[in-house]
Amino acid sequence: MLRLELVGVSKQYPAVKANDRVSLRVKPGEIHAVLGENGAGKSTMMKMIYGAVRPDEGEIRWNGEAVQIASPAAARALGISMVYQHFSLFDTLTAAENVWLGLDKSLTLAEVTERINQVASLYGLDVDALRPVHTLSVGERQRVEIVRALLTAPKLLILDEPTSVLTPQAVRTLFVTLRKLSAQGCSILYISHKLDEIRELCHHCTVLRGGKVTGEVDPTQETNASLSRLMIGAEPPALPERGNVGAATAAVVLAVEGLALARSHPFGTDLSAIGFQLRAGEILGIAGVSGNGQQELMAALSGEDRRAPPGSMTLFGRDIAQASPGLRRRLGLHFVPEERLGRGAVPSLSLAQNTLLTRRDAVGRGGWLRIGRMHQLAAALIERFRVKAGGPDAAARSLSGGNLQKFIVGREIDAGPKLLIVSQPTWGVDVGAAAQIRSELIALREAGCAVLVVSEELDELFELSDRLVVLAGGRLSPSLPIREATLERIGQWMSGLWSQEGARAAA
């Protein structure tokens, strides 16, 4: 008997048919991948299974019987749990309180807190149950979501891009967890754009393109290239050839020296003696496990936190330690935050209106909005970065995660920055779009822009960076030329274990 079966299921939205008579069959204990490019209809399919969206037609069968899943609560009652790509957590509540909300109230909050600690320890997921969610990084929030799902002892677990902001070590731990669950009979629906993961972990794979099922394969018998062809109709484009690596004589764009900041909330990370230089025409990568000071450093660099000591940050020699974000943008600094919805874009506003967040060319004299210019800019970004959306008037929240990421990154790249700081540039983005974003970042570098990339994807950092540094415990490692960096060495440094030898080698 099948655990789950979808038969001819469809869902129409005003601007697009997200699912067009799709079918899916999942066996008990099977780890089943759902593969497709951004906007292919994967998340909509999962939301219908989880009861968050009602199908327009078709049938959902659970253990062989047709069911109407009216809500997520009804799905959980059947034994279905889901971890969303865009998290469903209340910022002002603690991790434990968020988990408690999704469970029946037969357990007290104290008992739920204890169970969170037990499950987190059992599966090697570092979660502080008592921390307010607004103090957590994206990676830490994802771990809360995963623990919340595991606490329900699901019969079917849906994971939407579960490793997008996890470190390689955490991914290995998660895979052990998922294999344990599979061995116990739990079925797993696994959405990911990481083809290596799908080939390593999954037993079966259903491919979506344009809302339709275009194939079913055994991923263990496929290559990355063949999976890519099934997903996007072609292999991802190769990155462009690089020119000369940013010369040591190039102008220093950003200089940080002696940056020390006490945490702004009890659960934050103190920054201690942060120092580095970033020159024109180079990409500096920052690696590290989430929660080690990345949020605090990004807030200081972007101007969100203006408590930095005077003189600790200069942009083209000008002290910006306590400058406003607006002044920094006027000097050429543009910033892409790790959180797409709520930070990079306002969910309820249209794409055209969201250009106003950082693009002042859509504002005329006296503060009058140039509506035509806003639409023109959004349309150009949609076309240039191949964003699947219902046009400039589409609400930001109506886009898939990957398409919204392309729009936000594109908005800042298109502004012609002199310094671009980007956090998690390809989080939840399909292989074709990831290659496009990375190519655009390299093109910026070749044009003389200084680029700072914060990412938990080591493969991405090795692909993009001229130099690497590691942030651990609020401290920054020496910089390491990419030719001297290895996964093993960076992995050690991510635990704070850089040595005096490492400092001399990088000097």
186 Cβ contact partners less than 8 Å away, ≥ 6 residues apart: 29, 154, 155, 156, 157
Residue pLDDT, tens place only, 296-312: 999 999 999 999 999 99
- Residues 291-297, mean pLDDT to the nearest whole number: 92
pTM of the model: 0.73
Rounded Cα–Cα distance for residues 115 and 101 (Å) = 14
CA distances from 44 to 40, 82, 130, 224, 493 (A): 9, 13, 32, 25, 40
pLDDT at 402: 82
Kindly list the structural domains of the chain, giving each domain's residue range(s) and its CATH number in brackets, ordered by start.
4-232 (3.40.50.300), 252-346+397-506 (3.40.50.300)
Query: By percentage, how much of the chain surpasses pLDDT 70?
Result: 94
pLDDT at 242: 61
pLDDT at 186 over 70: yes
DSSP string, 168-197: HHHHHHHHHHHHHHHHTT-EEEEE-S-HHH
Could you tell me which residues are beta bridge partners of residue 423?
Answer: 454
| Lowest-confidence pick of 193-207, 247-261, 425-439 | 425-439
Contact (Cβ atoms closer than 8 angstroms) between residue 453 and residue 461:
yes
Contact (Cβ atoms closer than 8 angstroms) between residue 115 and residue 107:
yes
Place of tokens 């702004």: 264
DSSP string, 347-386: TTSBHHHHGGGT-GGGB-GGG-B-HHHHHHHHHHHHHHTT
Residue pLDDT, tens place only, 409-434: 999 999 999 999 999 998 878 788 88
- Residues 167-181, mean pLDDT to the nearest whole number: 81
Rounded Cα–Cα distance for residues 343 and 332 (Å) = 20
- Residues 98-112, mean pLDDT to the nearest whole number: 87
Rounded Cα–Cα distance for residues 369 and 478 (Å) = 46
pLDDT at 506: 46
pLDDT band at 14 (very low <50, low <70, confident <90, very high): confident
Closest CA to 426 of 395, 459, 470: 459
Task: Lay out the sheet containing 271-279: strands in order across.
Answer: 271-279, 252-261, 313-315, 318-319
Find the helix packing angle between 401-414 and 371-384, rounded to 10°.
Answer: 110
pLDDT at 507 over 60: no
Residue pLDDT, tens place only, 444-469: 999 999 999 999 888 889 999 999 99
Residue pLDDT, tens place only, 155-164: 999 998 887 6
Alpha helices in 415-457 (DSSP H): 431-446
What size, in residues, is the chain?
Answer: 507
